[in-house]
Amino acid sequence: MFRLIATCQLLVANCQCPMVKTSVITIRDVAKEAGFSSTTVSIVLNNAPLARYIPAATKKRIEKAAKKLGYRPNLFARSLRSKRSHTVGVMVFDMTDPYCTLVLRGIENSLYQSSYLPILTDVHNERSRFERYLEMLLDRRVEALIVLANWLFVEVDVLADLERSSIPTIMIGRELQTDTVSSVVVDNEVGAYAAVEHLYLLGHRKIAFIRGPKTLADSAPRWRGIRSFAKSSGLELDPRLVLDLPESRDPISSFEAGYKLTEEWIKRKDRFYNPSLTAVRQPMDAMETMAVNIATEGINSVIEKRDLSAVHRKMVPEMVARESTRAFL
Amino acid sequence: MFRLIATCQLLVANCQCPMVKTSVITIRDVAKEAGFSSTTVSIVLNNAPLARYIPAATKKRIEKAAKKLGYRPNLFARSLRSKRSHTVGVMVFDMTDPYCTLVLRGIENSLYQSSYLPILTDVHNERSRFERYLEMLLDRRVEALIVLANWLFVEVDVLADLERSSIPTIMIGRELQTDTVSSVVVDNEVGAYAAVEHLYLLGHRKIAFIRGPKTLADSAPRWRGIRSFAKSSGLELDPRLVLDLPESRDPISSFEAGYKLTEEWIKRKDRFYNPSLTAVRQPMDAMETMAVNIATEGINSVIEKRDLSAVHRKMVPEMVARESTRAFL
DNA sequence: TCCCGAAGTTCGATTTAAATG
DNA sequence: GCATTTAAATCGAACTTCGGG
């Protein structure tokens, strides 16, 4: 038997086949090399509580042996015992949504800090795909689930499915009132309010608006913010200056429609126009960091068997004044 | 002892704590419910070769029991034995690269077809981050690695690290000559050739060019394609009509610089200009599908212990004529 | 009781070898 | 040998328990 194994190793050492090094080295190999039991090796390498009692000399020998053999613990085995995957699921409803990339990078970055790895899934706004992915992620025991609601309508039953998922779940971009799913959203009302205020303070009184489609969850609170400012400041909202975007649910076409609308408007005035844009900036970094924080917090709750309840954060957007808005002189 | 467990279950059933259902149901529970051994259950549910000998009645009973209990196999345990993770690593060097989203979606979609899940990592163009992520992905036994080279320079030693990674590795967007790492690139020379040809056939003879920075791997072959067409057609390349972008490595700023350059050019001619753009379209879908195919192919090679060698594909881009180019009348 | 280390059990599924009729 | 089923070994790490100094 020993002979056979020895032959295998030789064969392996000689062949170009890449599957060679796939960690044939187990904790027992390290134990043998160091001259201790695998128990001791495990305790030392994980710096478990019991490691307190183990003399430095023993630790040194074990660490040296581990390094020499290039030991890498088998995460399957580890996960099987610990029931932890060190993985979170990230669910996007439509990756082509321009909003997505930024959020994804933010999530990735936050997770990196805490040594989690994200499994990325794109639901393509399809119910069946959502179900399948949710199942797959739960099967893999992701420790938390971050859901990125896009501009579009998210069906209610999707939320219902998420609610019974039994792991910390965070939804970014959609306001929720449930107490089983956390949420992180931008405060559209405050943002819109600030935007109009900005213009108002620059001296503008005749302000035109392009309203987003009603099916978009973001549209309503923004309009609310605008009216709220108008009321408190006495600004008059001229109905002739309010245009509505078509009810399309495609973010790209919404962008284009908005662009075209603006263009026509400007063309009518026969003016060339390409300044940098004043905008209400969504606090991306802060939002994703928040999402991941909630995720890890939730994970910890589960580990420590504490009860966890959902968290809902509304982040305040920032007004960034640029060239496209200017005071009346 | 039994009592204690019974109490626990009760407690769990009563509490709101979400960690309840985390698959307490094992294959043994199903076995007990069905009245067979766990061996038989495993054979039936996996439709293993031995399932041939198992009578339909037995199968029915087992499947019913599994469904009744809502049995979901523990993937950690399964992976521990099978040594398979059904996961591939996706490594991006800079997610904010506009090119990225499209490719990512393509990869995700292809993987979905084959029931793999992607672990997404963004290296941020940092060497240390690259190393750490590579290690993490290998520790998780990703079955393949898809690397998305961005516009930027990829250090050579990164490639060296990838070469010894011992799993099927595919690089998208960078031409390679190694035979341990596969690659999928767009043929920039052919693309550029086709673009100039398009203009030429429309009757244009005075054509201006904006050249990308030399540090960009894409720039050289494109210019080569242009000169190649010029030579074969007799088209004269006027040096005064060739502008170079600054050597910046930031894709965003490159875009902006290109935009500004074009704008100035057009402004000089005092003309307002906003047609849809004729372009050389990179065959995104095809490329990512190709990448994932190579990945799964590589995985299969490893499973079947076949030797695998790298594959290098160069995809032909497509000329898409739109409004911005027009024939001389 | 404190310190050090090891033997043996556990996690949950797959697989080999073997036992029935 | 064939059809049907299963006990026991295995994967690799972590933890519980125990023994000797």
pLDDT value of residue A230: 95
- Residue A106 makes CB contacts below 8 A (sequence gap 6+) with A284, A285, A287, A288, A289
Contact B328, B203 (CB under 8 A): yes
Say how far apart CA B158 and CA B145 lie, in whole Å. 14
Flag whether pLDDT at B268 surpasses 90.
Answer: no
- Return the half-sphere exposure (C-beta side, CA atoms, 13 A cut-off) of residue B288: 20
pLDDT band at A16 (very low <50, low <70, confident <90, very high): very low
**B2 Cβ nearer than 7 Å to chain D strand:** no
pLDDT value of residue A303: 64
Which residues, listed in sequence order, are joined to residue B312 by a DSSP beta bridge? B183
Contact A148, A251 (CB under 8 A): no
Mean pLDDT of the region B108-125: 91
Residue whose structure tokens are 């009132």: A177
Verify whether the Cβ–Cβ distance A80 to B95 is below 8 Å: no
Among A76, A81, A101, A143, pick the best mutation site for testing chain B contact (most B Cβ within 10 A): A76
> What domains are defined for chain B?
20-73 (1.10.260.40), 84-186+283-317 (3.40.50.2300), 188-282 (3.40.50.2300)
Say how far apart CA B70 and CA B33 lie, in whole Å. 12
**B44 Cβ nearer than 7 Å to chain D strand:** no
Which range among A254-258, B165-169, B215-219, B250-254 has the greatest average pLDDT? Answer: B165-169
Instruction: Name the minimum distance, in Å, from the CA of A101 to any CA of chain B.
Output: 7
**A76 Cβ nearer than 7 Å to chain C strand:** no
Query: Percent of chain A beyond pLDDT 90?
Result: 29
Mean pLDDT of the region A209-214: 84
Verify whether the Cβ–Cβ distance A118 to B120 is below 8 Å: yes
Contact A182, A311 (CB under 8 A): yes
* Comparison of pLDDT for A250 and B139, the residue scoring more: B139
Is the CB of residue B144 less than 8 Å away from at least one CB of chain A? no
Computed on alpha carbons and rounded to an integer, the radius of gyration of chain A in Å comes to 28
Verify whether the Cβ–Cβ distance A102 to B121 is below 8 Å: no
Flag whether pLDDT at A235 surpasses 90.
Answer: yes
pLDDT value of residue B18: 37
B117: nearest CA partner in chain A: A119
* Comparison of pLDDT for B327 and A184, the residue scoring more: A184
pLDDT band at A256 (very low <50, low <70, confident <90, very high): low
Say how far apart CA A137 and CA A162 lie, in whole Å. 12
Contact B81, B143 (CB under 8 A): no
* Comparison of pLDDT for B206 and B157, the residue scoring more: B206
pLDDT band at B232 (very low <50, low <70, confident <90, very high): very high
Verify whether the Cβ–Cβ distance B307 to A21 is below 8 Å: no
Flag whether pLDDT at A168 surpasses 80.
Answer: yes
- Residue B276 makes CB contacts below 8 A (sequence gap 6+) with B322, B323, B324
pLDDT band at B277 (very low <50, low <70, confident <90, very high): confident
Say how far apart CA B7 and CA A313 lie, in whole Å. 38
Mean pLDDT of the region A171-197: 85
Contact A225, A190 (CB under 8 A): yes
Verify whether the Cβ–Cβ distance A117 to B136 is below 8 Å: yes
User: Phi/psi at A74 (nearest 5 deg)?
Assistant: -80, 115
Cα distances from A66 to residues A21, A36, A41, in angstroms, run 15, 12, 9
Inter-chain contacts counted by CB atoms under 8 A, chains A and B: 127
**A206 Cβ nearer than 7 Å to chain D strand:** no
Is the CB of residue A131 less than 8 Å away from at least one CB of chain B? no
Flag whether pLDDT at A40 surpasses 70.
Answer: yes
pLDDT band at A246 (very low <50, low <70, confident <90, very high): confident
Flag whether pLDDT at B1 surpasses 50.
Answer: no
Instruction: Name the minimum distance, in Å, from the CA of B294 to any CA of chain A.
Output: 15
Q: Which string of DSSP letters, residue by residue, matches B153-208?
A: ---HHHHHHHHTT-S-EEEESS----SSSEEEEE-HHHHHHHHHHHHHHTT-----
Distance in Å, residue A149 CA to nucleotide D14 C1': 39
Is the CB of residue A300 less than 8 Å away from at least one CB of chain B? no
Which DSSP category does B317 fall into?
Answer: P
Verify whether the Cβ–Cβ distance A121 to B109 is below 8 Å: no
pLDDT value of residue B11: 30
SS3 A30: helix
Nearest alpha-carbon partner for A42 in A91, A82, A5: A82
Nearest alpha-carbon partner for A244 in A273, A215, A272, A271: A215
A39: nearest nucleotide, CA–C1' criterion: C6
Tokens (6 digits) for B327: 């024939």
Distance in Å, residue A186 CA to nucleotide C20 C1': 68
Flag whether pLDDT at B47 surpasses 90.
Answer: yes
pLDDT band at A329 (very low <50, low <70, confident <90, very high): low
Distance in Å, residue A195 CA to nucleotide D3 C1': 78
Q: Burial of A4 by CB count in 10 Å (0-12 exposed, 13-18 middle, 19+ buried)? A: exposed
Flag whether pLDDT at B102 surpasses 50.
Answer: yes
Q: Which residues on chain A are in Cβ contact (under 8 Å) with B136?
A: 115, 117
Tokens (6 digits) for A162: 């998420």
pLDDT band at A212 (very low <50, low <70, confident <90, very high): confident
Contact B298, B182 (CB under 8 A): yes
Say how far apart CA B107 and CA B293 lie, in whole Å. 10
Q: Which string of DSSP letters, residue by residue, matches A129-185?
A: HHHHHHHHHHHTT-SEEEEE--SS---HHHHHHHHTT-S-EEEESS----SSSEEEE
Partner-chain residue, chosen from A17, A80, A96, that has the shortest CB–CB distance to B105: A96
A71: nearest CA partner in chain B: B139
Length, in residues, of chain A = 329
Amino acid (1-letter code) at residue A81? R
Say how far apart CA B223 and CA B212 lie, in whole Å. 9
Verify whether the Cβ–Cβ distance A166 to B18 is below 8 Å: yes
Q: Which string of DSSP letters, residue by residue, matches B248-274?
A: ---HHHHHHHHHHHHHHHHHHTT----
Neighbouring C-beta atoms of residue B37, cutoff 10 Å = 13
Length, in residues, of chain B = 329
Tokens (6 digits) for A26: 């187990």
Instruction: Name the minimum distance, in Å, from the CA of B223 to any CA of chain A.
Output: 31
Q: Which residues on chain B are in Cβ contact (under 8 Å) with A146?
A: none
**B204 Cβ nearer than 7 Å to chain C strand:** no
Nearest alpha-carbon partner for A295 in A161, A171, A130: A171
Write down which residues 57-76 in B have CB closer than 7 A to strand D.
58
Say how far apart CA A133 and CA A93 lie, in whole Å. 11
Partner-chain residue, chosen from A19, A115, A307, that has the shortest CB–CB distance to B166: A19
The mean predicted confidence, pLDDT, of chain A is 79
Which strand D bases fall within 7 angstroms of a protein CB? 3-8, 10-16
Verify whether the Cβ–Cβ distance A119 to B119 is below 8 Å: yes
